[in-house]
Amino acid sequence: MNDALDRDGFALLRNFVDSTTAVELRSMYAQDERFRSRVVMERHAFGKGEYKYFANPLPPAIAALREKLYAMLLPAANEWAARLGGKPFPSTHQEFLSVCFASEQKRPTALMLRYRAGDYNALHQDLYGPVAFPLQATIYLSRLHEEYEGGEVVLVEQKPRAQSRAHVLSPDQGDLLILPTRYAPRRGSKGDYRVTFRHGVSALHSGERYALGIIFHDAL
């Protein structure tokens, strides 16, 4: 994972959760009491499809994943911060949430996304206030080629004074994608510099696709 993050700015880990866990996580989407809000993307020109933000307290499985992934990504996040002139991040996710709370970022940002045929997600960044963790994660909960077609993940990187480069990925059920929230470091002849990343989802051709987004900072 660290080699891929260093080389590409993102990493795709296959079979991070098993199919049973993926189905259990996906089943939460129908349980409206677990969520604080529902966003219909077309209404906001975000794309087409919908997603729901989990409410506090987060379901135990979601909270555990958030804490586990934060710990897993903390070394890379601190390395990126050092390379880009930032401060190190707190050693636990709860401590990091205290930093968010101090900036009035108190609304949970873990979310579940659902796409159907024709749905897509426009390129964007998941920034919800002045405090942001440099990495985020998505766990894919539907079976590619069995439950849906299309819906590729699109990552676009923009280097300073250069044309954009697109990366197109096709994750399958249980896979975990680690991606930059905003910037990734790159090594240049004069030291490290920032590369801006945006991400989105191409149009689904058929079926239905669910994903779990794990963002470590909370929202204003």
Residues 69-110: tens digit of each pLDDT: 999 999 999 999 999 999 999 999 999 999 999 999 999 999
CB 138 within 8 A of CB 209: no
**Residues 6+ positions from 217 with CB-CB distance below 8 Å:** 96, 100, 105, 109, 128, 129, 131, 132, 133, 181
Residue 199 lies in a domain: yes
Residue 220 lies in a domain: no
Q: How many CB atoms lie within 10 A of CB 8?
A: 15
Find the domain containing 117 and state its range: 2-214
Residue 219 lies in a domain: no
* Residues counted in the chain: 220
Mean pLDDT over 3-8 rounds to: 92
Q: What is the pLDDT of residue 161?
A: 87
Q: Which helix (H) or strand (E) holds 78?
A: helix 60-83
Mean pLDDT over 153-174 rounds to: 96
Alpha-carbon span 34 to 27, nearest angstrom? 11
**What pTM value is reported for the model?**
0.97
pLDDT in tens, 196-211: 999 999 999 999 999 9
Check which CATH number belongs to the domain holding 48 and give it.
Answer: 2.60.120.620
Domain count of the chain?
1
Residue 16 lies in a domain: yes
Q: What is the pLDDT of residue 49?
A: 98
Q: What is the pLDDT of residue 189?
A: 84
Place of tokens 């051709």: 205
Distances (CA, A) of 210 to 115, 142, 158: 7, 6, 28
Residue 144 lies in a domain: yes
Residue 135 lies in a domain: yes
pLDDT at 145 over 90: yes
Residue 146 lies in a domain: yes
pLDDT at 2 over 90: no
Residue 50 lies in a domain: yes
